[in-house]
Amino acid sequence: MSAATARPLREIRIDAEALRHNVATLKPLVAPALTMVVVKADAYGHGALVAARAALGGGADWLGTADLDEALALRAAGIRAPLLAWLHGPDTDFGPAAEAGVDVGVSSLDQLERAAAAGATVHLKFDTGLSRNGIQADDAPAVIARVAELQRDAGLRVRGVFSHLSGTSPEEDLAQLARFELAVAALAEAGVHPELRHLAASAAAIALPATRLDLVRIGIASYGLSPDPRVPVDVLGLRPVMEVSAGIAHVKRVPAGEGVSYGYIHRTAAPTTLALVPLGYADGVPRSASGGASVAIDGVRHPVVGRIAMDQFVVDVGDAPVAVGDRAVLWGDPATGAPSAEDWADAAGTIDYEIVTRVGGRAARTVVGAPQPAQAARATPPAAAAGGLA
């Protein structure tokens, strides 16, 4: 292999064009609702700035983060699109949000007072049954009264009202929608009319149209992965954005009965060839997937055997002509023959969200497919979508 075509030993390859395509595919599906692409947690492990630019290139109207620091980092990198951050500590200073034009979600009276004092634009979050953050039903009357007072007397801008669904079932999600509508109605009665109502994340945005409202928050589906086994994304034409791979570091022929890796939880059933993949749990490869996952080499699946170690794991390739330097793809686009992140999640007893967000360690990151940052200069939030509940 020439130096010009050499790839890093361990590589996380991000296809920015696939992300742009996914957003452009989802946008008309959820219309007339606006689209917020969620880039929290370094864009679910995909790289926040790359993801932000590609998402805006695909037509995203908003970007969302959990922490304010994540949003401010995007502003510092030149992203001018509308941004919302919604998870705050007790000492979060909302002044920088106001200065940078980052909207903040508020979940309590204390957060409301501090955000208003800083001059920040807010989205009011109501707890409709997920029992995480959000204004509780018992507290809602007092908070709403204070919102109306701050709006009238102090110029508070309430751009949005939102909540988050549990995804337990369509029936449970629609019950949360009903509770959300009560909160919106109570705000209206107090004279507070937010521009944007948002409730649905990836699963509901795709599968439960009634929850789309004025804006949807698309997270994992933007990255070409399924938010729920009941919500397949391949039929929508979405493509996985992340591929994780490594060059084979060692190949050996072994006899039947040979123990493999720590604890000998696997012994070879017949003479076979073992290939060593230089990725391990230090790089975010789940140890719990030992003996259950597979990799693709030249488009052919081969099982992971023995325990996954800190730096490496072993693959049984049988009699396949695998050589040192060949590429083992852990997860990527199944259309290429690779396992999916969901395949690894199933082997590890977890979800695809965790598989992609935890990967990293020593692996080099390569971006392919040019992000399209032209829309990143837009700083004015778009108007709310027309109409009521879709």
pLDDT at 268: 98
Q: What is the pLDDT of residue 234?
A: 86
27 noted as active-site residue: no
Contact between 182 and 136 (Cβ < 8 Å): no
- Specify the residue for token string 């989802």: 26
CA angle 367, 373, 378 (to 5 degrees): 150
**pLDDT tens digits for the chain (390 residues)?**
444 468 999 999 999 999 999 999 999 999 999 999 999 999 999 999 999 999 999 999 999 999 999 999 999 999 999 999 999 999 999 999 999 999 999 999 999 999 999 999 999 999 999 999 999 999 999 999 999 999 999 999 999 999 999 999 999 999 999 999 999 999 999 999 999 999 999 999 999 999 999 999 999 999 999 999 888 888 999 999 999 999 999 999 999 999 999 999 999 999 999 999 999 999 999 999 999 999 999 999 999 999 999 999 999 999 999 999 999 999 999 999 999 999 999 999 999 999 999 999 899 999 999 765 544 444 455 554 433 222
Residue 287 labelled as part of a binding site: no
Longest alpha-carbon distance in the chain: 81
Question: Is 262 among the catalytic positions?
Answer: yes
Q: Is residue 290 within 8 Å of residue 306, measured between CB atoms? A: yes
CA distance 28 to 214: 13
Burial of 67 (0-12, 13-18, 19+ CB in 10 A): middle
Domains and CATH numbers, the chain: 16-223 (3.20.20.10), 242-368 (2.40.37.10)
> 42-54 b/e with 16+ CB inside 10 Å = b?
bbbbbbbbbbbbb
Instruction: State yes or no: 310 annotated in a binding site.
Output: yes
34 within 8 A of 386, measured Cβ to Cβ: no
Q: Find the catalytic residue in 40, 44, 125, 223.
A: 40
Q: Which of 125, 252, 262, 281 is catalytic?
A: 262
Task: Note the pLDDT of residue 229.
Answer: 84
